Structures are given as C-alpha cells and as structure tokens.
Amino acid sequence: MGSGQWIMEKRSSLRNDSFSRDNDNVPETGCLSIIVLGASGDLAKKKTFPALFNLYRQGFLQSNEVHIFGYARTKISDDELRNRIRGYLINDKSAPGQSEQVSEFLQLIKYVSGSYDTEEGFQLLDKEISAHESSKNSLEGSSRRLFYFALPPSVYPSVSRMIKKCCMNRSDLGGWTRIVVEKPFGKDLDSSEKLSAQIGELFEEPQIYRIDHYLGKELVQNLLVLRFANRMFLPLWNRDNIDNVQIVFREDFGTEGRGGYFDEYGIIRDIIQNHLLQVRENNTDMKKVLCDEEVVLGQYDGYRDDPTVPDHSNTPTFATAVLRIHNERWEGKKQGRNEFVIRLQPSEAMYMKLTVKQPGLEMSTAQSELDLSYRQRYQGVTIPEAYERLILDTIRGDQQHFVRRDELKAAWEIFTPLLHRIDDGEMKPLPYKPGSRGPAEADELLSKVGYVQT
C-alpha cells in the first residue's frame, strides 16, 4: 500500500470515516457542469472563478467536458460577467500566454439570471445545463452537476429546495449532484443544527461539501503526512511526549471598514470555532464545557472607533481558550518539552526547537531550530490555493477535507454556551493594545496551565 493511500485511510479513521463517495458508480469523466450561485458576488470573483481557472489551466478541467454557469439575481450578460472575472485572472504577475488561456476559459462560462426562491430561474438554469449535457453526452443525463453556493447562508435553504426541485441530475444512468456550501454554518448550535436539518432533508451527507478553506491549505494537508509517513513521529504523537498543542492565529491589521460584519460574529465565530478547531484531531473528543477561568477575551483599543462598530460593542477581537481532549491518546500526563512549530501561514514552514551545544569552547547549551522553510526549500514551486484543491476534491468525490455534520455540531457545542454569555454581555473582553500579544491575562492563563513562553 502506498503511503498516500495509507494516509487517506488514517485520516478517514481519525475523522470517523468521513472519506466517502456518494455513488460507487460515479463517472469520473464525462460531462461536468459547475454552477456558481451568487456569481455576481465577492467570493465568486475573488476565489471561486480564479480557482476554477487554475484548475482549467493545469488540465484538471477539460473544455470538452466542462461548462460553468454563473447564477444570480443581477441582470448582466455573459460578457459582462466574463469581463468582471477577467480582471481577477490577469495581473502584472501573469505568465506570458495567460491572456489567451483566460479567453478560452471565459468562453466556458454562461450566465443565467434569476431569483433564489422561485422556480422560474432554476427551471431556466436546468434547461441550460441540460442543453449543455445533451450537446456533450451521448447518454443524456449521465452527468455531473456541482452547485457552489457563493451566497449568504440566509438563502441556502431556499436555494437547496430549488435545486432539489428543478436542477437535479435525474438520470438513472449514473452521474451525481453535489453542493458546496461556505461558512458560516449558523451562529450557534441551534441555528447550525437547523440549517443542517434543512439541507439534510434535501441532500444526503455524501452530497454536501461544507468548505472550510483551512482544510485545503498546504500545511494543514501536510499534518497527516508528517504524522503518519514518518516513523519517528508515530510513537511520539501522544500524551506521553506532547504536553500541549497551541493553535495560534494572529493578524496585524484591524477591521478596515468591515467592522460591521465582524462585530456580528467576533473572533470565536469568525476563526476559532471553525478554522482553528478544524486544524486539530477530532472535535468529537473535545471536552464540551469551557470553564471561565480558562478563557481570556480581549478587544483592542480603538476597535469601537470604527464607525461601523456599535459604541458599546461587547464583541471580542481576541480570545485564548484552553481545550481538553478526552481520549486515550491525549488525556493526562505532563512532560518537559521541546517545541515543534508548524506555520500554516504566512511563509509556510516547519521547525523544531532543540537544545544544542552553544558553538564554542565552553560546554553551554542554547535553543536552536531544525528549519524547513518552504520558500527556501521549494523555490519556484507554486503552492496551490486552498479553493483549487477543495473544488477538485468535490469533483473527485473526496470528502476528507470537508466539514462533517457531526464535527460541526461538536464544534458549536463547545463554544455556544460561551458565545451566548458574550452575546448577553455577561462576559466582557479585556482591553489590549493593537499589535500586542493580547491582554496580559492570556499569557498568565498559558503559564497557569503549564506553558512557559521561551
């Protein structure tokens, strides 16, 4: 068995068999229709269409089998949509000849305008998709339909209903229909469960791809290879040798005019409950109750000066929380330490802090690093964008890098009681200086649970 396959199997067992295909007879070649819903929006032009172009450029999407449909309410022509997208595909750094490839790619795109809650638009969309399918397929209907929701979650339920009613691949001859949905998946446990139930009534779990783009990042994907393809780490990766895992996310800029959006969510909903929790092993083994003494919240000085943020906002822009894992591999035991750092972004790197002899005549020790910085080691190699990988995984029916429904529920169970107390104003964030490490109380918490900054 190749190590790649073995790693996939490991991931699948770690994530409770998340790796599944929705149909054993799935045709991996043949007519593919990719429908970008909300094609007029920000995510579509900045991420979805560029990711599709990069897949096309690298030969993963073939012009003889793929067609891309943009769908939204805005009334624009095919060419107007293509021109909007073109601006995001060509820039100063574009390779020679890219402009020609971009033009070929844009010809694959057709735009359909319609609303998100009436059948008319979706019937028209279905007609366009079917016309494309019958022009490409000898067997009408044995086709793949991928619906990408680049939309606000408020319209996910109605759009799901319309797709189910009007746009499914209806053939008995095979093929599939899959939907890709973007975060936020709810605002707390109840709203997330409600959304999951609404979509779950219409689609089977193997048809639903919940994107958390952190799972598409190069170094997040490398975690499993690192852990299971290196014999050295296998016996070490447990409570006997690892005292704690710190997942740290820092940004060196403020709300930059998006304060209104951010204030509704806060740092826990925006980053921690989803992206950071996904980077770790298995949410379902996490202790579900966070204790107040092991949470520090902060709000940076000047946050409320943003005119889009309410004057009395209680929203945290900083949070440190201690989470405990209840399973045999991790529970209990404390040890002295080395430090192994995996930097996901920016400047991908892995380095291990070791104690070595200080070079020189004296026998003294110093901390140093075994350093694998990707920029130096893999010069000239382009690291693919997370969205590129994840769309390709969806086409291939590989769900291992997507968020499962039970994981999502477990993540919300951990944070919902805390979030409700913040929303009700019972827990207040502490002030801290922008650009600092956050409130001093956060470092005090880390040292209280045994971590000493070196």
Nearer to ligand NDP, 44 or 55 (CB): 44
**CA–CA dist 177, 143 (Å, integer):** 9
Q: Are 70 and 112 in contact (CB under 8 A)?
A: yes
- Measured from the CB atom, is 70 or 316 closer to ligand NDP? 70
Q: How far is the CB of 114 from ligand NDP (least distance, A)?
A: 9
59-98 residues in contact with ligand NDP (CB under 6 A) are 72-74
Please identify, using beta-carbon distances, which residue of 46 and 127 lies nearer to ligand NDP: 46
Shortest Cβ 156–ligand NDP spacing (Å):
8
155 binds ligand NDP (CB under 6 A): yes
152 forms part of the interface with ligand NDP (CB under 6 A): yes
Stretch near ligand NDP under the rule CB under 6 A, chosen from 86-94, 152-160, 263-271, 444-452:
152-160
As beta bridge partners, residue 366 has 356
43 binds ligand NDP (CB under 6 A): yes
The distance of closest approach from Cβ of residue 407 to ligand NDP in the complex, given in angstroms and rounded to an integer, is 18
Name residues contacting ligand NDP, limited to 12-31 (CB under 6 A). none
Q: Which of 56, 116, 176, 387 binds ligand NDP (CB under 6 A)?
A: 116
Is there a contact between 432 and 320 (Cβ–Cβ < 8 Å)? no
User: According to the binding rule CB under 6 A, does residue 271 interact with ligand NDP?
Assistant: no
Give the contact letters, 177-196, x = binds to ligand NDP (CB under 6 A), - = no.
-----xxx------------
Residues 431 and 299 sit within 8 Å (Cβ to Cβ): yes
Integer Cα distance of 407 and 425 in angstroms: 28
Cα–Cα nearest to 89, from 114, 112, 76, 106: 106
Q: Is 150 in the site for ligand NDP (CB under 6 A)?
A: yes
Largest CA distance in the chain: 82
Site stretch for ligand NDP (CB under 6 A), options 33-41, 336-344, 358-366, 385-393 = 33-41
Q: Whose CA is closest to 393, among 384, 381, 383?
A: 384
Stretch that binds ligand NDP, among 129-137, 151-159, 239-247, 434-442 (CB under 6 A): 151-159
Q: Give 225 or 271: the residue with its C-beta nearer to ligand NDP.
A: 271
Residue 258 CB, nearest distance to ligand NDP (Å)?
A: 10
Pairing of strands 339-343, 349-357: antiparallel
CA distance 32 to 60: 12
User: Where do the H-state alpha helices sit in 274-400?
Assistant: 277-278, 374-377, 386-396
Query: Of 153, 174, 200, 254, which one interacts with ligand NDP (CB under 6 A)?
Result: 153
C-alpha to C-alpha distance for 371 and 392, rounded to whole angstroms: 31
CA-based end-to-end distance of the chain: 42
If binding is defined by CB under 6 A, does position 41 make contact with ligand NDP? yes
Q: Nearer Cβ to ligand NDP, position 156 or 318? A: 156
Give the nearer residue to ligand NDP in terms of CB position, either 11 or 389: 389
The nearest distance, CB 115 to ligand NDP, in angstroms, is 8
For ligand NDP, give the closer residue by CB, 41 or 50: 41
- Catalytically active residues are 275
Q: Are strands 318-321 and 295-300 parallel, antiparallel or unpaired?
A: antiparallel
* Whole-number CA gyration radius for the chain: 24
Taking the mean position of all CA atoms in its chain, how far away is CA 221?
12
Determine the interface stretch with ligand NDP among 57-65, 148-156, 365-373, 425-433 (rule: CB under 6 A): 148-156
Nearest to 367 by CA among 346, 386, 352: 352
Q: Are 12 and 102 in contact (CB under 8 A)?
A: no
Q: How far apart are CA 407 and CA 332, in angstroms?
A: 23
Please give the residue ranges that form the binding site for ligand NDP (CB under 6 A).
Answer: 38, 40-44, 46, 72-74, 116, 150-155, 182-184
